[in-house]
């Protein structure tokens, strides 16, 4: 059930970091007393504009450990949270009710720009549209949107609704970062983003898009060897962690760098969406609540690690059934080479260990044989061996 609203902005709701209320009049954070309050607020923010059933909210707040009178316990939590919101509104000169009650449950009334996650999405979308006219302004705009983040999304909130919302928000941040560096490379700011991309490839080593953007930035800055080293680092990590090869787009960048492809230096053809569509940051569509799917499952973006099927041009004939795709053949060939290399290295390691053991055995035999042939003095010390003699405290050592 949609909720109609048009309220002043005395209070803000923040989920891009710890879940919290923010007093917009006095410019201060409003602490919440318990994790239950943070979870309840987080679920209402994620589903803002819609009514959430009391049953789902109860599961969100208590999980499987619901109290005997869960309805009464939920009403008490809602009452405390509502009073806190009303107090903030009254201090700001407003008396509207934020947390509303319906027969089926509860809902949050707020303007989209009162919620930091919605403001983030709107700002990123504005930057994307702006990029066609002013790349520098678009870059500044998207950086401003990213500054809204204060930590992991919905920190301090738990439950299925909050977990799904947090995952979607984190993915939106990754997509926004990809868009930021696409815009930066188009604006020829490649030297300014190298350090940031290096950090991202270390902190998120499975996000292959960051490797690709870093390779382009390094190559344009005159560091071809380092750019190729980034590809090798990505390849090794993916092989060691998941047993797979990089996506074709990353391999293509490596081949372009090796060939000094001129398109790598063209900011309009060598960056963003050469092999994929423009990055999108979507948390809701058509009034759907955050956390619910905004696109059909078959239309969702595939994981970056999955090789994507190339799209045929309109009117092109389908390939023969027995004709393997070049991408698949290339990947199979690289995988066979990798397996062969691993087998060779393993065999070399085993041979080295065997050689070391054999040499150790020979050395031990030679020492024993030498001891047997060395004459022994009366004191029983073999000639040529170092000997340490204990000196009694009452005697002096001979000079």
The residue ranges of every structural domain in the chain are 11-111
pLDDT band at 294; cut points 50, 70, 90:
very low
Of 139-153, 158-172, 307-321, the least confident: 307-321
- Say yes or no: domain 11-111 is CATH 1.10.10.10: yes
Tell me the residue length of the chain.
Answer: 399
**Cα dist. 4→51, 242, 346 in Å?**
12, 48, 67
> Could you tell me the two tokens for 335?
């995988």
pLDDT band at 88; cut points 50, 70, 90:
confident
Residue 374 is predicted with a pLDDT of: 57
**Cα dist. 396→136, 388, 389, 393 in Å?**
86, 15, 12, 7
Query: Percent of the chain, pLDDT > 90?
Result: 55
Residues near 210 by Cβ (< 8 Å), separated by ≥ 6?
177, 178, 181, 197, 200, 201, 204
Query: Percent of the chain, pLDDT > 70?
Result: 66
In the chain, the N- to C-terminal Cα span, in Å, equals 102
Q: Which helix (H) or strand (E) holds 51?
A: strand 51-53
Stretch 287-301: mean pLDDT, rounded?
38
- Pairwise pLDDT comparison (58 vs 352), residue with the higher score: 58
Stretch 322-344: mean pLDDT, rounded?
57
**Cα dist. 334→239, 242, 346 in Å?**
11, 15, 18
């Amino acid at each position: 059930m949609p909720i109609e609203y048009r309220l002043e902005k005395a209070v803000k709701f923040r989920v891009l970091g710890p879940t919290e209320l923010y007093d917009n009049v006095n410019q201060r954070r409003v602490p919440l007393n318990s994790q239950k309050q943070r979870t309840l607020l987080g679920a209402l923010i994620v589903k803002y504009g819609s009514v959430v059933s009391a049953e789902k909210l109860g599961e969100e707040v208590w999980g499987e450990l619901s109290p005997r009178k869960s309805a009464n316990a939920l009403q008490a939590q809602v009452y405390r949270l509502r009073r806190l919101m009303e107090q903030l509104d009254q201090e700001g000169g407003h008396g509207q009710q934020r947390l509303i009650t319906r027969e089926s449950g509860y809902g949050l009334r707020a303007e989209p720009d009162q919620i930091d996650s919605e403001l983030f999405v709107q700002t990123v979308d504005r930057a994307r549209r702006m990029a066609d006219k002013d790349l520098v302004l678009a870059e500044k705009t998207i950086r401003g949107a990213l500054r809204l983040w204060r930590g992991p999304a919905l920190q301090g909130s738990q439950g299925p609704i909050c977990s799904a919302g947090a995952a979607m928000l984190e993915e939106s941040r990754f997509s926004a970062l990809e868009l930021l560096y696409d815009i930066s490379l188009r604006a020829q700011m490649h030297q300014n983003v190298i350090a940031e991309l290096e950090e991202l490839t270390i902190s998120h080593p499975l996000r292959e898009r960051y490797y690709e953007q870093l390779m382009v930035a390094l190559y344009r800055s005159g560091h071809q060897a380092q750019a190729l080293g980034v590809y090798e680092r990505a390849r090794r990590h993916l092989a060691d962690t998941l047993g797979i090869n990089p996506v074709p787009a990353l391999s293509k960048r490596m081949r372009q760098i090796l060939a000094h492809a001129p398109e790598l230096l063209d900011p309009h053809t060598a960056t963003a969406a050469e092999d994929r569509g423009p990055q999108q940051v979507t948390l809701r569509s058509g009034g759907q609540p955050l956390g619910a799917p905004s696109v059909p499952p078959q239309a969702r973006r595939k994981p970056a690690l999955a090789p994507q099927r190339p799209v045929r041009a309109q009117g092109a004939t389908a390939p023969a059934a027995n004709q393997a795709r070049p991408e698949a053949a290339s990947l199979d060939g690289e995988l066979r080479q990798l397996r062969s290399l691993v087998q060779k290295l393993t065999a070399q390691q085993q041979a080295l260990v065997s050689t070391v053991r054999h040499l150790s055995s020979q050395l031990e035999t030679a020492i024993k044989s030498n001891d047997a042939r060395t004459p022994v003095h009366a004191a029983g010390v073999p000639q040529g061996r170092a000997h340490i003699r204990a000196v009694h405290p009452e005697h002096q050592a001979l000079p």
